[in-house]
């Protein structure tokens, strides 16, 4: 009991450090979408593992690469769960690879092999642009949307990033942090949400298998249902 008494606060502090100041949020324009439901083209959908930066042994590096390869399988499932979540707000997610590719100057293959090497996976029918890239000092949503929109169609544009970190000291678990932002054809943000959830914990080993990451993402979406909604 003495060990747990002093170790637990340290574990909590370490975990908070790994996830930063991130906390779930939900901001929405109650007048959107119009009509309801409306299509939301997924302009960017990226899943990546955020490494702690600590030096790894050869064995640890191989295990990490093997788990990163699973990001491709998890990403496909995450896209389905994400679409289900957006439908609650009146948005029907759709992919259009031809238009999404307008955003990436350099095209890279996105599969299990590249995920193993880079720790990142991009949905093959989307760009590598996440919500934080769309609105910066030098880039504005209206400019990004202008490259994607079809003048003959009214729709919305969604950008999503899922970041995975390993949390815990002795009992390790994968924590997923999801951000999604949706913009209308004028580049105005109509939905902004962030969710966080953790998968099953294991002693001294973080299970980043697709199944456990799916459980973490499912927990994130369930937690989002109790977040106080703010008006955009």
What pLDDT, on a 0 to 100 scale, did the predictor assign at position 19?
Answer: 61
- C-alpha 158/C-alpha 94 separation (Å) is 9
Is the link from the previous residue into 156 a cis peptide, with omega within 30 of 0? no
- C-alpha 184/C-alpha 190 separation (Å) is 7
The CA-CA-CA angle for residues 24, 75, 114, to 5°, reads: 125
Q: What is the pLDDT of residues 15-43, one digit of tens each?
A: 344 566 789 999 999 999 999 999 999 99
Q: What is the pLDDT of residues 140-155, one digit of tens each?
A: 999 999 999 987 678 9
Is 61 a residue whose pLDDT tops 90? no
Specify the range with the lowest mean pLDDT, choosing from 6-10, 56-60, 66-70, 207-211: 6-10
Is the link from the previous residue into 176 a cis peptide, with omega within 30 of 0? no
- C-alpha 169/C-alpha 71 separation (Å) is 23
- C-alpha 142/C-alpha 211 separation (Å) is 37
What pLDDT, on a 0 to 100 scale, did the predictor assign at position 2?
Answer: 33
What pLDDT, on a 0 to 100 scale, did the predictor assign at position 203?
Answer: 92
pTM: 0.89
């Amino acid at each position: 009991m003495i060990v747990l008494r002093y170790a637990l606060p340290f574990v909590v502090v370490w975990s908070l450090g790994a996830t930063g100041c991130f906390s779930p949020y939900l901001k929405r324009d109650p007048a959107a979408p119009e009509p309801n439901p409306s299509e939301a083209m997924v302009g960017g959908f990226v899943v990546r593992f955020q490494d702690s930066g600590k030096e790894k042994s050869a064995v640890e590096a191989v295990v990490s690469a093997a788990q990163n390869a699973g990001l491709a399988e998890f990403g496909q499932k995450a896209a389905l769960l994400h679409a289900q979540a957006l439908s609650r707000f009146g948005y029907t997610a759709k992919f259009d690879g031809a238009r999404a590719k307008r955003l990436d100057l350099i095209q890279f293959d996105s599969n299990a092999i590249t995920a193993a090497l880079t720790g990142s996976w991009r949905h093959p029918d989307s760009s590598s642009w996440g919500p934080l890239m769309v609105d910066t000092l030098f880039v504005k949503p209206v400019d990004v949307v202008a490259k994607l929109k079809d003048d003959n169609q009214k729709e919305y544009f969604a950008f999503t990033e899922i970041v995975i970190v390993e949390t815990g000291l002795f009992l390790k678990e994968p924590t997923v942090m999801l951000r999604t932002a949706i913009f209308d054809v004028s580049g105005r943000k109509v939905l902004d949400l962030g969710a966080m959830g953790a998968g099953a914990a294991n002693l001294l080993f973080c299970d980043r298998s697709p199944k456990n990451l799916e459980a973490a993402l499912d927990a994130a979406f369930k937690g989002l249902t109790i977040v106080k909604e703010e008006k955009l």
